[in-house]
């Protein structure tokens, strides 16, 4: 009964969507377990580009069971738009299921997200302004509205009124916004409820049953380890736990249901929004990586910050997630580089060095990378389908990463297309075991 968790091992946008899509072909179910439509997962199939924010990345297989778990925060407007978008393309979304216990992003969460960022001014986090933080805050405060509440008018109205009450003061600038009217908000969410009713289910039981029947479940993480609310670069993080351990909570399964945990990392590093980024390249090389890698956000279109691969952070992520395999994507972006650098430790103030990811925010904010320089390669590798097809320098780069982290590389991405992937022997073995 294999449970396979796919998580981001850096700051997001590592190519998780593509990897989940690949694994979903042979899986029985795909389950998103945290985050919301702050995520943007791109899949390129037969030259067509699909971007998903909420719907799990397995949906392109007709009828595949695709679950939005209880740990996800759901904006029903975005979800219904995504379902409509799929239908318009003739894609069968009948396998979609949404947890009745997932929390709903409400119009006031969007307003609070924007207002909060504006108030922080220079200290702002650079959120996606999708209402993610305020929605999880209401969940923890026990003032959240859940998917099942959309099916009961009386409960829905009562809960919205209770949730609005403590926010009156902060929401005063939006008082005239029709979206805040209790009656029309209730009606809008009842309508979403009617539209989504066919998909609403006890997804925890569905997932457990699938595993108990010997099925394969892929648990799809959004965001990434360094954006984790507890373990990331707080406060410059998202408001959920994208680490592998959270798959159990956000899907409603137990730790023993997880067998395989793969972390996805790019061959370099990127970050969207504010916060520490020790290997950041604020120069022409960084701009070149951004251009070649197409590093512009799927969700907000923002230019992603770029830098060299940070092995200190990656080793931290490997341990936190107990990774059994490492997926390296976008290796093709480095073709044409004479040399490539990898960060193997941090340098701080007063000649201090750090081999382990520092817990102290002031240390982290001043940390810069200490690098090992490795030879690059000139060849186009986008047609490589086995490690042997790669130039020696590219293989050495991968070996350096795997040796340093102590986790085998299972997959290597050499382009955005579904077929542009190398299964290493370790990957083949692990997949067969699963």
Active site positions, annotated: 13, 41
Give the x-and-dash track for 34-63 against ligand IMO (CB under 6 A): ----xxxx----------------------
- CB of 371 closer than 8 Å to CB of 342: yes
**In 278-362, at which residue ranges do the beta strands (DSSP E only) sit?**
305-307, 309-310, 325-329, 339-347, 353-354
Q: Which does 10 bind (CB under 5 to 8 A by kind): ligand GDP, Mg ion, ligand IMO, none?
A: none
Q: Which residues contact ligand GDP by CB under 6 A?
A: 8, 12-18, 39-42, 44, 294, 298, 329-330, 332-333, 413-416
DSSP state of 406: T
Residues 252-311 that bind Mg ion (CB under 5 A): 298
Alpha helices in 145-298 (DSSP H): 153-164, 182-196, 203-212, 246-251, 284-293
Cβ proximity to Mg ion: between 297 and 417 the closer is 297
Helix axes of 182-196 and 153-164: crossing angle, nearest 10 degrees: 130
Nearer to ligand GDP, 108 or 397 (CB): 397
State the angle between helix axes of 182-196 and 76-88 in degrees (0 to 180), rounded to the nearest 10.
40
Q: How far apart are CA 223 and CA 293, in angstroms?
A: 18
Task: Please report the sign of the dihedral spanned by the C-alpha atoms of residue 120, residue 121, residue 126, residue 130.
Answer: positive
What's the gap between Cα 277 and its chain centre? 18
Please work out, in degrees rounded to the nearest 5, the angle formed at the alpha carbon of residue 30 by the alpha carbons of 27 and 32.
160
Binding part of the chain for ligand IMO, among 5-13, 64-72, 90-98, 282-290 by CB under 6 A, reads 5-13
We find the least distance from the C-beta atom of residue 356 to ligand GDP, in angstroms, to be: 26
**40, 293, 325, 413: which one contacts Mg ion (CB under 5 A)?**
40
* Cβ-based nearer residue to Mg ion, 16 or 167: 16
Helix (H) or strand (E) holding 233: none
Task: Choose from ligand IMO, ligand GDP, Mg ion, none: what does 132 bind? Cβ within 5-8 Å by kind.
Answer: ligand IMO
Binds 223: which of ligand IMO, Mg ion, ligand GDP, none (CB < 5-8 Å by kind):
ligand IMO
* 413 is an interface residue for Mg ion by CB under 5 A: no
206 binds, among ligand IMO, Mg ion, ligand GDP, none (CB under 5 to 8 A by kind): none
Tokens 């030879």 locate to 375
Site mask, ligand IMO, residues 233-262, x = CB under 6 A? -----xx-----------------------
Per CB under 6 A, the segment of 7-15, 78-86, 198-206, 367-375 that binds ligand IMO is 7-15
Distances (CA, A) of 420 to 130, 297, 332, 381, 383: 32, 21, 10, 9, 7
Closer Cβ to ligand GDP, 107 or 232, answer by number: 232
Residue 224, both tokens = 């990434």
Q: Does 276 bind ligand IMO (CB under 6 A)?
A: no
Q: Which stretch binds Mg ion (CB under 5 A): 10-18, 159-167, 315-323, 326-334?
A: 10-18
CB 225 → Mg ion: shortest distance, Å? 14
Query: What's the distance, CA 130 to chain centroid?
Result: 14
Closest residue to bound ligand GDP by CB: 413
Whether 66 and 95 have beta carbons less than 8 Å apart is answered as: yes
């Amino acid at each position: 009964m294999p449970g396979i968790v796919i998580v981001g091992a850096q700051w997001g946008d590592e190519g998780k969507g593509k990897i989940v899509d690949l694994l979903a072909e042979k899986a029985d179910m795909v389950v998103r377990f945290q985050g919301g439509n702050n995520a943007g997962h791109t899949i390129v199939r037969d030259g067509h580009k699909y971007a998903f924010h909420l719907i799990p990345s397995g949906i392109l297989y007709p009828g595949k069971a695709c679950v939005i778990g209880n740990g996800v925060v759901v904006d029903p407007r975005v979800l219904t738009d995504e379902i409509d978008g799929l239908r318009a393309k003739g894609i069968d979304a009948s396998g979609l299921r949404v947890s009745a216990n997932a929390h709903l992003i409400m119009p006031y969460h969007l307003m609070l997200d924007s207002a909060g960022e504006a108030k922080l001014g220079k200290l702002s986090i650079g959120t996606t302004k999708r209402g993610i933080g305020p929605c999880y805050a209401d969940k923890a405060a026990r003032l959240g509205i859940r998917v099942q509440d959309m099916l009961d008018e009386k409960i829905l109205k009562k809960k919205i009124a209770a949730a609005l009450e403590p926010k009156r003061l902060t929401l005063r600038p939006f008082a005239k916004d029709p979206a805040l009217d209790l009656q029309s908000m209730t009606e809008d969410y009842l309508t979403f409820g009617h539209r989504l009713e066919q998909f609403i289910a006890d997804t925890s039981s569905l997932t457990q049953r699938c595993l108990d029947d010997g099925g394969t479940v892929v648990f799809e993480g959004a965001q990434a380890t360094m954006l984790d609310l507890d373990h990331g670069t707080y406060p410059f993080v998202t408001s959920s736990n994208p680490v592998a351990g959270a798959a159990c909570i956000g899907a409603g399964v137990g730790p023993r249901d997880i067998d395989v945990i793969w972390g996805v990392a790019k061959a370099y590093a990127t970050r969207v929004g504010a916060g520490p980024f020790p290997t950041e390249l604020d120069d022409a090389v960084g701009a070149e990586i951004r251009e070649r890698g197409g590093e512009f956000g799927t969700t907000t279109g923002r230019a992603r910050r770029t830098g060299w691969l940070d092995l200190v952070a990656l080793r931290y992520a490997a341990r936190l997630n107990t990774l059994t395999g490492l997926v390296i994507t976008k290796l093709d972006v480095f073709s044409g580089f004479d040399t490539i650098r990898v960060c193997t430790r941090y340098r701080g103030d007063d000649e201090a060095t750090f081999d382990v990811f520092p817990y102290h925010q002031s240390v982290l904010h001043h940390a810069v990378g200490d690098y090992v320089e490795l030879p690059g390669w000139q060849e186009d590798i986008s047609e490589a389908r086995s490690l042997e097809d790669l130039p020696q320098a590219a293989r050495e780069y991968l070996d350096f990463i795997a040796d340093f982290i102590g986790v085998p590389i299972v997959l290597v991405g050499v382009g955005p297309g579904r077929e542009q992937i190398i299964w290493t022997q370790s990957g083949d073995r692990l997949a067969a075991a699963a």
